[in-house]
Structure 1
Amino acid sequence: MFLAVIGGGSYYYANAEIRHEVEQVKARDRELVQVTAEGLHHGLLDMAFDVDYLLHLPRLRESLSQPTPGNLARVAEYFVAYAEAHRNIDQIRWIDAKGKERVRVDYVANRGVVVPEASLQDKATRDYFIDTMALPAGSLYVSPFDLDIEHGNQEKSPKPVIRFASPIRDARHDRHGIVVVNFIGRQLLDRVRPSVGSVGARPQLLNRQGFWMVGPNPADEWGFDIDRPDARLGVRFPAAWAAIAAQAEGQVVLDSGLWSWKSIAVIDEIRKLVNAGNTPGFDVQGNANYSWHTVVTTPAARLRAIEQRIWLGMSPIIFFAILVAALVSYWIMRSQRHVEILNTQLADRAEAAGGGRASKGQLPRQHEPRDPHADERDSRARLPA
């Protein structure tokens, strides 16, 4: 009985402790997902405002209708100063309405470098140019987040970039091409990488197809750009990807571990951020299905480690409780046995005492006292009449 009570109580207490710690892990992972998403929001908002600032440079607007070498050189100086001041910019360009780069500044080795005219390229066939040129004034185009491609080939050292572009017009509202800013993607990704959650959990960043941009294994990152179709969550963890793809935000425990996530509708989020408050912002355009997923995973092994630690921690207590219960049970059994022996002895004594009294009540008749006149009465009775 005591062992059953101790066993049941220990099981209930240990499971309550396990549930409590797992709930703490869940809460920390949810918080990490939220913090990671907010960090990305702030990074995207800063990029949008950088482009807006460059669009309104007075010297740039003056050069639109008079793109003399002197004006273009001064625009390049502004671009260099801005790139060196912010350090999250990889490239700033003004591309004219025909798709020809007119001013280009690259950020190389911590300094802005003006690209000579002979090295400027034609970008008329690039998606970001075509899509941005189709936008009305005051709009902002956001490209997919991918690896930069220069001169038709991927660089030997992959360089993640995200492009923000906007159409530009002069004071008479005549179209003069677009301003494009390539932002250094790694600085945006650094808002994801340093974060560490519960029991070492680290956030991941996936694109809409489930490819890693930040993943547990750097070799699996950017699989969609380096011809690695297997390097995505849906292949490695299909059950987890099915849950993430089905719901914008959530948390689920699977055989592979605890999964927490939040989806970011990139275009909608930037639009909401730049138009927050009382000051009108600008329209934001891009792929309507453009989304990222911030994901935090706590492996199943770490959840099992919580269970093992709690059970191991309770083992001495359970052992001591069982030992005490066993001693108490033994003492009770001995006491009960002692009482039984005493009761048996008392019963035997009572029975013996009762038998003695019965013997004394059945004495032989020859020992009974006789009436002294009985013989005389008998003799008289026997005489003849």
Structure 2
Amino acid sequence: MTPNSAMQPNHRLTHHLLLILLGLMLLASLIHWGLRAQVQERVEQKLYDQSVTLLRQLNQQLQTDLKEVRSDLLYLTDQARQNGLTQPQPSDQAIARTSIAFKAFSKYKRRYDQVRFLDAEGMERVRVNANQGQPTIVPTDQLQSKAHRYYFTETIGLPSGAIYTSPFDLNVEHGEVELPLKPMLRLASPVSDAQSNKRGIVILNYLGRHLLNDFLALTRDYPGRTYLLNSEGRYLLSPNKLQEWNFMFPDSPQVGFAQDHPLIWSQITQRGIASSRTAEGRFVHLRMRLPNSQSSLSSGCQNCEFVLILQIPESLLETQIDQEMAHQYPLLGLFFLILGAVLIFLTFNREKRRLSELQIQHLNQEIADERDLFIGGPTVVIHWRNEFGWPIDYISSNVEPLLGYTAEEFQSGELSLSSIVAPSYLQQLIQENEAAQTDSRSWFERKPYQLVSADGRRLWIQDTTSVIRDSAGHITHFYAYISDISPLKQAEEKLQRSHHYIQNVVDTIADPTLVINIDTYRLEIANSAARQTYCGGASIDAEMTCHRLSHKREVPCSGEHDPCPIELIRKTKAPARVIHKHFDSHGKVIYAEVSATPIFDDTGERVVQIIESHRDITHHVEMEQQLTQLAATDRLTQVFNRMKFDDELVEQIEWAKQQQSALGLIMFDIDHFKRINDNHGHDVGDRVLQEAVAVVQKRIRKSDVLARWGGEEFMIITPLADLAVVETVAEDLRKAIAQHQFPQVGRITASFGASMLHPDDDARALIKRVDQALYRSKREGRNRTTVSP
């Protein structure tokens, strides 16, 4: 009987079991796939229907809220007419009646921060402040002109009955966002007399928190994610609270839904409920137009839109599908468990007896075949009993050339296996036999051990041992074929001695030195300086790589700013030298000059190893960085000096032209600075410059660049800012300096000039235009801002 025929029943049983398993798996997969597809369709439709219903409710609620505000506004404009405010010169009694009516209205409604009437010149004639539920009428001497505010200029030009709606944003007081946050929506409508002459406007500051609370109340129980956006895709409400109102804070990341989900935003182009799908899930959205009394809205109403978005994340869909499927799994599992158990039981019983008989025949035949195969060859075949002393039943005759013993000496019982095993390895063999019994293994490979030959020599042996068991599973016999590996062990010992020699040599090198495998990046040798620097003198793990040792990370270095010398040598097969930032055993940064040299194989073609030497140049690098910082910084004010500013402006202009983005430049000069030096001394003048820089730095963005141009003149580069923003920044800075109290000097002023980068500008042209704008501010009386488009 051949080994193949002996193992055929076992293969057949395995084959049958695999067919049963594969059949059950295929059937289970088909049932599961079909059932899950049905559940997915049902769950997804349910979530979509829920989202559409909620969007309609939100749309209706928000429209209702805003229609009520519109109705209130039109009511107040009518009140202004009835109380006589449409007269060219309203009487004090008319103003008083209107003030009392506005106050009563504010107290009753409790959703407006301010209720105002402005005359045709933009002067406040009536203003009622909410005052936390206790409305107050603002005295006449505290009323202000709003003639230049955007909401007045936009509203006064509208026809009678039209409504201007401002952007929905946060309330700003004295140039800063009011805390706690106060969302605000301003609605205004013109007031005309009987001859349709404009006599002023009524404006309501609507507390947007009422609108937002209604939105949150309706979406509280929605399982997905909800977003409320303005017309530009900026977050008003978001699952991530850090994203809300970020467009109101220049230092915050200026991103919105349009940037986070550009594909979805591009599909929200028309009103009405629609849906889109991406890898993040399904988005159901509605673009909602604010109500207005005119069919054609004013210019202010490009912001009269909200975008409502409900997201059904893939994770939510999968969770609800899994919950639905969880109810089906027990029945499916029980069905397949019973079916599988019945099929396996029937198949196993049919093959069990035949398999047992064939296995015994196979083992006997295998012993005979291996004996015939190895007899006369270099490998010795041995068969012994698992009894005391390990008596040998059979050993091939080629044992004599190997160990000097005859086969008859073993088979007669004069020698046993335990009698020729070197004493120091006897316990190893006993433990390996016990492990085979415990693990129920049919064969195993032993660790190398030594046998004692007839002439007393110790030979290194490697063997593969098979196990024979009785019906109870106990080991009764072993058989193995053993080979002499003494030459291999001797070569291994020589290699270890050579390695120790090389290690001793590299340990004498003062700089950290490594020998690295080019394929795996693992360290093959590291000298004592490397161990001391990177491991605090501790030993290095055998699996340690060069990047884990020196860079303290799991991936190799790469790229222009962190070049890998190994990659350079792979390409050029020539020595390489780079500067790297390493970390010592305490995490301290070390700048190292890495010199790497390739080691080739015997052919001289393939690089197999790299020798790296790391020279510590931290002191030189830190000195260069300090010199660079000193060269770029104005010593008095600690901002960029003129030389650094010139370089930065050229780079910013080049970048703006490449990106086709806006770039502004502001120049300002401290007015009458020479008088400060003459009257108070240069020390005080220096402190004024330092204080002025501090005032400016608190009010510009992190992306803006402030530099001292010379003397009391300063420059500010404002990337990604249009003309309106640049003018606002310059004017805010001018006011901040004028309002600041400077020690020993008091209040001072500054003149500002600003301009934008033109397509054909270079740095000189832009600076010249800004300088001319500053000159006009000086010429026209100082303490003013001039903007050159």
The normalised TM-score by structure 1 is: 0.76
How do 1:205-354 and structure 2 match up within 5 A? 205-227=228-250, 228-245=252-269, 249-266=273-290, 270-271=291-292, 284-287=297-300, 289-290=302-303, 291-326=305-340, 329=343
Q: Which of 208, 214, 217 pairs up with 1:194?
A: 217
2:163 alignment partner, SS class: strand
Say yes or no: does 1:170 pair with 2:199: no
Q: Name 1:99's counterpart in structure 2.
A: 122
- For 1:282-317, what per-residue CA distance to the aligned partner results, in whole angstroms no more than 9, with x for missing partners? 875344533220011233322221233334433322
- Aligned equivalents of 2:91, 2:117: Cα separation in 1: 14
Q: Name 1:30's counterpart in structure 2.
A: 52
Q: Which AA in structure 1 matches 2:73? A: V
Contact 2:270-2:287 within 8 A present in 1 as well = no
- CA RMSD of superposed structures (Å): 2.8
Contact 1:72-1:103 within 8 A present in 2 as well = yes
More deviation in 85-94 or 218-227?
218-227
How do 1:99-118 and structure 2 match up within 5 A? 99-118=122-141
- Aligned equivalents of 1:113, 1:282: Cα separation in 2: 36
Q: Which AA in structure 2 matches 1:237? A: H
1:20 alignment partner, SS class: helix
Contact 1:210-1:233 within 8 A present in 2 as well = yes
- Aligned equivalents of 2:158, 2:331: Cα separation in 1: 71
- Aligned equivalents of 2:176, 2:35: Cα separation in 1: 61
* RCO comparison, higher one (Cα < 8 Å, 6+): 1
How far is the alpha carbon of 1:145 from its aligned partner? 1.3
Aligned pair count reads 326
- For 1:296-342, what per-residue CA distance to the aligned partner results, in whole angstroms no more than 9, with x for missing partners? 123332222123333443332221111233356469879x99xxxxx
How far is the alpha carbon of 1:174 from its aligned partner? 2.9
Contact 1:59-1:71 within 8 A present in 2 as well = no
1:322–1:40 CA distance, 2 compared to 1 (3 A): same
Q: Which AA in structure 2 matches 1:19? A: E
Contact 1:95-1:178 within 8 A present in 2 as well = yes
Say yes or no: does 1:85 pair with 2:99: no
Mark the runs of 5 or more structure 2 residues left unpaired by the alignment. Answer: 1-19, 352-789
Q: Which of 78, 84, 91 pairs up with 1:56?
A: 78
Runs of at least 4 residues off by over 6 Å? 330-334
More deviation in 111-120 or 101-110?
111-120
2:117 alignment partner, SS class: strand
1:126–1:231 CA distance, 2 compared to 1 (3 A): same
Q: Which AA in structure 2 matches 1:309? A: Q
2:286 alignment partner, SS class: strand
- Aligned equivalents of 1:207, 1:199: Cα separation in 2: 21
More deviation in 164-173 or 120-129?
164-173
How far is the alpha carbon of 1:213 from its aligned partner? 0.9
Mark the runs of 5 or more structure 1 residues left unpaired by the alignment. Answer: 275-280, 338-385
Contact 2:81-2:191 within 8 A present in 1 as well = no
Identity score, percent: 26
- Aligned equivalents of 1:72, 1:198: Cα separation in 2: 48
Contact 1:193-1:203 within 8 A present in 2 as well = no
Q: Name 2:712's counterpart in structure 1.
A: none
- For 1:246-288, what per-residue CA distance to the aligned partner results, in whole angstroms no more than 9, with x for missing partners? 786322332222211100133xxx13xx5xxxxxx88753445
Q: Name 1:134's counterpart in structure 2.
A: 157
Say yes or no: does 1:204 pair with 2:227: yes
- For 1:225-244, what per-residue CA distance to the aligned partner results, in whole angstroms no more than 9, with x for missing partners? 22235341133333333333
Max radius of gyration: which structure? Answer: 1
How far is the alpha carbon of 1:144 from its aligned partner? 1.6
Q: Which of 4, 18, 21 pairs up with 2:40?
A: 18
Contact 1:36-1:203 within 8 A present in 2 as well = no
Q: Which AA in structure 2 matches 1:162? A: L
Contact 2:189-2:201 within 8 A present in 1 as well = yes
1:246–1:94 CA distance, 2 compared to 1 (3 A): closer
1:200 alignment partner, SS class: coil
- Aligned equivalents of 2:192, 2:103: Cα separation in 1: 22
1:118–1:288 CA distance, 2 compared to 1 (3 A): closer
Q: Name 1:362's counterpart in structure 2.
A: none
1:104–1:298 CA distance, 2 compared to 1 (3 A): same
1:149–1:215 CA distance, 2 compared to 1 (3 A): same
1:239–1:116 CA distance, 2 compared to 1 (3 A): same
Contact 1:195-1:203 within 8 A present in 2 as well = no
- Aligned equivalents of 1:76, 1:288: Cα separation in 2: 28
- Aligned equivalents of 1:151, 1:330: Cα separation in 2: 82
How do 1:151-162 and structure 2 match up within 5 A? 151-162=174-185
How far is the alpha carbon of 1:139 from its aligned partner? 1.8
- For 1:91-128, what per-residue CA distance to the aligned partner results, in whole angstroms no more than 9, with x for missing partners? 11110111110100011111211111122111111111
- Aligned equivalents of 1:199, 1:134: Cα separation in 2: 43
- Aligned equivalents of 1:149, 1:259: Cα separation in 2: 33
- Aligned equivalents of 1:307, 1:282: Cα separation in 2: 47
- Aligned equivalents of 2:206, 2:62: Cα separation in 1: 13
- Aligned equivalents of 1:15, 1:206: Cα separation in 2: 34
Contact 2:121-2:200 within 8 A present in 1 as well = yes
How far is the alpha carbon of 1:71 from its aligned partner? 2.4
2:228 alignment partner, SS class: strand
- Aligned equivalents of 1:122, 1:145: Cα separation in 2: 23
Q: Which AA in structure 2 matches 1:57? A: Q
2:214 alignment partner, SS class: coil
Q: Which of 34, 43, 68 pairs up with 2:65?
A: 43
1:194 alignment partner, SS class: helix
- Aligned equivalents of 1:8, 1:198: Cα separation in 2: 36
Contact 2:246-2:254 within 8 A present in 1 as well = yes
Q: Name 1:8's counterpart in structure 2.
A: 30
1:111 alignment partner, SS class: coil
- For 1:342-381, what per-residue CA distance to the aligned partner results, in whole angstroms no more than 9, with x for missing partners? xxxxxxxxxxxxxxxxxxxxxxxxxxxxxxxxxxxxxxxx
How far is the alpha carbon of 1:137 from its aligned partner? 1.8
Q: Name 1:381's counterpart in structure 2.
A: none
The normalised TM-score by structure 2 is: 0.39
How far is the alpha carbon of 1:26 from its aligned partner? 1.4
Contact 1:214-1:221 within 8 A present in 2 as well = yes
Q: Which AA in structure 1 matches 2:135? A: G
Contact 1:140-1:283 within 8 A present in 2 as well = no
Contact 1:260-1:296 within 8 A present in 2 as well = yes
